[in-house]
Amino acid sequence: MGTYRVKAIPIDCIDTRENEVQLTLFSEEEGKFRVAVRGTKKVASSLRPALDFLHEGLFFIAERRTVDLLTEWAPLVEFNRLRQDPDAIALIGYMSRFVLTLLPSRSSEIHLYNIIKNIHFLLQVNNHHDIIKTLFEWQFLKVAGILPVLDVCAECGAESGDGDFLLDIAEGAVYCPNCTPQNGETMSRLSPGVVQYSERVKSLCDILEGSQIETMEEAEGISSGWFAAERQAGRRYETRELAKVLVRFCRYHLREDIPFWLVRLQPPGI
């Protein structure tokens, strides 16, 4: 038996014994896994703050035959601004539920980890919760390997232009007006504006998955750039319609009860 350390964000905590809890961590190195934490019922416990969800920490863990044991920890980043934002807290819970129920244990997903950490930063500097939720769903579908291509017809290769495309939720393919299949039961209509907006979402996800925001200044720079542009463009309709498509896609391919997880987020009126 040895020891190891991980950089992680806590996502769940349950009582298991009188003097022990099990903490679920989503880590950069190991993905999602559980550790036992002892003595946290004591007010003076040095491990008690590790159970808080609004931080990224460095966790030192001892291997055991059953559940590994957390022995020490050190905070790396605190997301204290989120404590005053109920919508942000609800969105963090929504992301945590995806990881808890849909991601395999001990499966490292560095790109998803980056997105989740970066979202914690972005939520501290802007109130576009609905757009940020779409960024997370987009990235989760990409990690799951089922993200559909929305801007090219699966039949003839035509790119999105003047007419509406149709997305077949079941097949994960889009069709131009000239190639639309007869079966419309699992179809969602995509206007050119929605397809263009999805490309904007894709471009930001590509940035956020490749590196981690480390300072509030970096978060402010992204927020004042990308989100300010979306506000100026007035993409209220496109934001709403793409969100509906992604939820339908998640429900069909991931979990049928995902709509019941949804948090009620008020868009800021872009």
The reply to whether 50 and 137 lie within a common domain is no
In a domain, 164, yes or no: no
Question: Nearest-CA neighbor of 54 among 31, 74, 75, 34?
Answer: 75
Q: Which of 70-74, 241-245, 266-270 has the lowest mean pLDDT?
A: 266-270
In a domain, 216, yes or no: yes
pLDDT value at 267 more than 60: no
Long-range contacts, 214-222 (Cβ 8 Å, 24+) = 214/77, 216/121, 216/124, 216/125, 218/121, 219/118, 219/121, 219/122, 219/124, 219/125, 220/125, 222/122
Which of the 8 DSSP states describes residue 225?
A: I
The reply to whether 63 and 95 lie within a common domain is no
In a domain, 270, yes or no: no
pLDDT, residue 269, reads 47
| Mean pLDDT, rounded, for 247-268 | 85
What amino acid is encoded at 154 in this protein? A
- Tens digit of pLDDT for each residue in 113-129? 999 999 999 999 988 89
- Tens digit of pLDDT for each residue in 165-217? 999 999 889 998 888 776 667 788 899 999 999 999 999 999 999 999 999 99
Identify the domain boundary among 78, 108, 132: 78
The reply to whether 203 and 252 lie within a common domain is yes
Identify the domain boundary among 43, 78, 113: 78
- Tens digit of pLDDT for each residue in 19-68? 789 999 999 999 999 999 998 877 778 898 899 999 999 999 999 998 99
Q: Which domain holds residue 97?
A: 80-148+176-261
The reply to whether 94 and 206 lie within a common domain is yes
In a domain, 206, yes or no: yes
Q: What is the secondary structure of 9-57 as a DSSP string?
A: EEEEEEEEETTEEEEEEEETTTEEEEEEEESTTSTT-SSGGGG-SSEEE
Rounded to whole angstroms, how far apart are CA atoms 203 and 197?
10
In a domain, 166, yes or no: no
Query: How many domains does the chain fold into?
Result: 2
Identify the domain boundary among 78, 99, 120: 78
In a domain, 266, yes or no: no
Rounded to whole angstroms, how far apart are CA atoms 147 and 26?
22
Rounded to whole angstroms, how far apart are CA atoms 125 and 263?
20
pLDDT, residue 183, reads 65
The reply to whether 112 and 220 lie within a common domain is yes
pLDDT, residue 268, reads 52
Which of the 8 DSSP states describes residue 104?
A: P
The reply to whether 141 and 31 lie within a common domain is no
What CATH number is given to the structural domain containing 24?
2.40.50.140
The reply to whether 133 and 231 lie within a common domain is yes
The reply to whether 212 and 245 lie within a common domain is yes
Q: Which of 49-58, 81-90, 190-199, 227-236 has the lowest mean pLDDT?
A: 227-236
In a domain, 169, yes or no: no
Angle, in degrees to the nearest 10, between helices 192-210 and 236-253 = 70
Q: What percent of the chain has pLDDT over 70?
A: 95
The reply to whether 69 and 184 lie within a common domain is no
In a domain, 156, yes or no: no
The reply to whether 28 and 92 lie within a common domain is no
Average pLDDT, the chain: 90
pLDDT value at 74 more than 90: yes
3-state secondary structure of 240: helix
Location of structure tokens 């179809």? 187
Rounded to whole angstroms, how far apart are CA atoms 193 and 128?
19
pLDDT value at 251 more than 90: yes
Given pLDDT bands bounded at 50, 70 and 90, which one contains residue 264? confident
The reply to whether 42 and 102 lie within a common domain is no
The reply to whether 10 and 31 lie within a common domain is yes
